[in-house]
A and B are shown apart, each in its own frame.
Chain A
Amino acid sequence: MWLEVPRVVEPLSSLRQLGRFSEPGLLVMISLADGPKHGYAMLEDIEALAGVRLGPGTLYGALARLERLGLITPLAPVERRRPYQLTQVGAHVLQSELATWQNLAATGLRRLQVPA
């Protein structure tokens, strides 16, 4: 390759390795936290939860990456719509990711001197 990308030593429990798909990836995992959903249900859920309108292409970019990392797994399609499910490792990764964000949020609020 003409471009050597330095390998980042990042714990696997960080979704940062997904680049521009890390935020959609996190939202997808949060959406799947309470049970399997197919694409349409995920998009509706994410919009209601976070007010983020993900495009279908962005969604599938994130789904493919999460599947590749073994964080989610596809189930059998129902009328052409395929539900996805969080794997056990995925649940673990989501938990530590959310804990990181929780710490970050607490620090930010403290610095703003807003009581958490």
Chain B
Amino acid sequence: MNWWLWLYPTRWRRRYGEEFAALIRDRGWSIVTVFDVLRSVVDAWLHPDLADTSAAPQPAIASRPRGGRFDKFTQRSRTVLDLAHREAIQLRSQHIGPEHLLLGLLEEGNGVAAHVLMQHGIALAEFRAAILSRVEQSGDAAAEPIGLSPLAKRAIELSVGEANRLSHHYVGTEHLLLGLVAQAEGIAAEELRRRNFGDLPTLRREILHVLTQGGPHLRPPI
């Protein structure tokens, strides 16, 4: 008898009820379990959005099969796109904007782009705080899967252009960074300029230098 499942909100029960009941059946009841379950009932009522699976970042770009729009992206730049997606959700934005892409680059932390950014003293925590103070937050977390903003799309197109320009057959984090700088509008570009980091020709030279000479902490682009 699973009458106790009816203590949970409907949406929670629909999403987790069956597997949760199977787990309890496998483990058996104890006094501790009773209290643990009661506590989780309260948690489920207090956080009804947790069972709302549509709000989870669904189409993870990094996990998408090869082929299509992101075909030429390295694994690392796919991870950057996923991290940007999560940043956007976390910051309650309506779209994935260039600023989230930049945060993704910083958070991924191992690519050529992060290397160059850190060389310029642009650190994740401080930069994230700067962006956070400037982005408009809507009241609630976005209920629907969110997509790239027009500016972010433009930045990504420019990244692909930068890769072509360098005759690279992949789009790595370095190209994403070049694309973000080339696309000179928006919070990300402004914040970068404010840190004297926005001159495209200089950045191209620097990146080529890193790619040919390697950096002290650089891992190979995968």
Q: Which residues of A contact B (CB under 8 A)?
A: 7, 9, 11-13, 38-40, 43, 53, 55-61, 64-65, 67-70, 73, 77, 79-82, 87-89, 92, 96
Contact = CB atoms under 8 A, between A and B. Distances in A.
B86 to A, nearest CB: 6
Nearest to A92: B79
Interface string B88-114: 011000000000000000011100000
B19 A87 contact: no
Nearest to A67: B56
A77 B56 contact: no
Contacts of B24: 56
B125 interface: yes
Interface stretch (B33-41, B149-157, B158-166): B33-41
Contacts, number: 115
A92 B222 CA distance: 15
B21 to A, nearest CB: 8
A57 B32 CA distance: 11
B27 A60 contact: no
Contact of A88 (B22, B49, B82): B82
B214 to A, nearest CB: 22
21 contacts: A11-B125, A12-B107, A38-B23, A39-B20, A39-B23, A40-B27, A55-B37, A55-B39, A56-B37, A56-B40, A57-B39, A58-B40, A60-B20, A64-B50, A69-B86, A73-B60, A81-B19, A81-B23, A88-B63, A88-B82, A89-B82
A92 B82 CA distance: 11
Contacts of B56: 67-70
A65 to B, nearest CB: 7
A20 to B, nearest CB: 9
A61 to B, nearest CB: 5
B187 interface: no
Contacts of A58: 36, 39-40
B60 A87 contact: yes
A64 B109 CA distance: 27
Contact of A7 (B38, B40, B132): B132
Nearest to A21: B43
B181 interface: no
Nearest to A87: B60
